[in-house]
A = this chain, B = another copy of it.
Amino acid sequence: MNYNFLIIGGDKRISMLAEKLKRDGNNVKTYANKVEEIEELDKLEDVCKTNYDIVISSMPLTKDKINVYTPLSEKIISIEELKKIAKDKILITGDDILKDEATTILNTIPTAEGAIQIAMEETNYTLHNSKALVLGFGRVGKILCNKLKGIGMEVYAEARKSTDLAWIKAYGYKEIPIEKLKENICKMDVVFNTIPYKILDKSTLILMSKETLIIDLASSPGGVDYEIAEKLGIKAILASALPGKVAPDSASDYIKEYVYRKILYT
């Protein structure tokens, strides 16, 4: 590979991305993101003296809707300025990456591993031979079930649609149609939620054992009535954004794959 990249802002994953792009033989410069052995532009004006074809910005692009997200630098650059810099170039923003389906699929891997790590840390028994229930059989549900079975758990998966229930069966897990959730939830050791609405509401929580651990992987505010859970003495953990936390190195690999794919098809 031999491209000229300009990296603007971003957190540790973007720094690791810069390093990896360089290691692949590309020319890489940064602005508002410091990486060892990579030249960082000092002033925004220096950009015009720089040779670059592809601009990569932060992930997420912004937190305040005005400036690019630059947590590793004191420099400030607005989205407007970014757009000017990227004019007539390929611009890849964190938001493009977050919307890319292939990257989302790959991110299920660190999400599943992170969820298992939390389950191991929060229980005083082995996951082996314990009962896991996964709520929802979307992307995360699919890979999580696969790994829970691999680690030796007895895996139940809940879904609504007959096709998802068929997949659950075909992969060798035990299927629980949503209408049978309430009669089954009492026997579970760990419940992993992947559904982004309050599926674990009061009417379900009161049927659960106090010993059951809930790990909620749905994006904030999650799928658990946390107040009720606490009153009932059921431990529920909201675990979001796991890829960046448990495996930033792998996360930056997936971003790199996206970047090359994007360049190839632009």
Contacts and interface: CB of A to CB of B under 8 A. Distances in A.
Interface of A: 101-103, 105-106, 108-110, 113-114, 116-117, 120-121, 123-129, 143, 146-147, 149-152, 162-163, 165-167, 169-172, 246-250, 253, 261
Contacts of A120: 113-114, 116-117, 120, 246
Provide the main secondary structure of the chain A interface.
helix
B249 A129 contact: no
20 contacts: A101-B162, A102-B162, A103-B166, A105-B166, A105-B170, A106-B166, A109-B129, A109-B170, A113-B120, A113-B127, A113-B128, A114-B120, A116-B120, A120-B120, A124-B246, A125-B247, A128-B147, A128-B250, A147-B152, A150-B152
Given A113-B127, A150-B152, 7 more contacts: A106-B166, A109-B126, A109-B128, A113-B120, A120-B120, A147-B150, A147-B151
Contacts of A247: 123-126
Nearest to A254: B166
A146 B152 CA distance: 9
B124 A166 contact: no
Given A143-B170, A151-B113, A152-B172, A249 B125 contact: yes
Contacts of A151: 113, 116, 147, 150-151
Contacts of A126: 109-110, 113, 246-247, 250
Among A129, A166, A250, chain B packs the most CB atoms within 10 A around the CB of A166
Contact of A150 (B113, B150, B249, B261): B150
Contact of A163 (B102, B150, B169): B102
A166 to B, nearest CB: 4
B163 A101 contact: yes
Contacts of A172: 128-129, 146, 152
B249 A170 contact: no
A17 to B, nearest CB: 14
Contacts of A171: 143, 146
Nearest to A247: B126
Given A117-B117, A152-B172, A261 B162 contact: yes
A35 to B, nearest CB: 16
